[in-house]
Amino acid sequence: MCTNSSKWSLRRRQLKQRNLRLLSLSRKRRTRRSSKGGEDKETKRWLVGAKEEMEMKNLRLYMENRSIMEANERLRQRALFLHRENRALLFQLQSKFPRQTS
């Protein structure tokens, strides 16, 4: 008699075995394709175009990241300035109107 947990473990084992078979099959197909003479000219051109496109995206993202970091630094400095100004104003206010203890 199978319990619920044993059904799940059996099902998991079957799924793992199926995934391993699929992985090995796809690996065999890749090695078979690569041993048939390599890539043709159109595929190489596509790969070069894709590489250039990825480099441009990478550069664009790098520049965007730099500008975000610079803006973040400016905002951090502005927040620090405002915090100091707030403390100074609070000190002036407290010195003008000292708290009365009862």
What whole-number distance in Å separates Cα of residue 46 and Cα of residue 7? 47
Enter the tokens of residue 43.
């595929």
Residue 102 lies in a domain: no
Please count the structural domains in the chain: 2
Q: Which secondary structure element, helix H or strand E, spans residue 5, and what is its range? A: helix 4-34
Residues 23 and 55 in one domain: no
What pLDDT is stored for residue 37 in this prediction? 55
Residues 24 and 55 in one domain: no
Mean pLDDT by 10 residues, the chain (102 residues): 67 70 68 62 79 92 96 98 97 88 65
Identity (one letter) of the amino acid at 78?
A: R
Residues 27 and 3 in one domain: yes
Domain range enclosing 45? 39-97
Residue 15 lies in a domain: yes
What pLDDT is stored for residue 78 in this prediction? 98
Residue 59 lies in a domain: yes
Residues 51 and 29 in one domain: no
What pLDDT is stored for residue 61 in this prediction? 96
> Per-residue DSSP letters for 49-93?
HHHHHHHHHHHHHHHHHHHHHHHHHHHHHHHHHHHHHHHHHHHHH
Residue 49 lies in a domain: yes
What whole-number distance in Å separates Cα of residue 66 and Cα of residue 72? 10
What pLDDT is stored for residue 99 in this prediction? 80
What pLDDT is stored for residue 35 in this prediction? 58
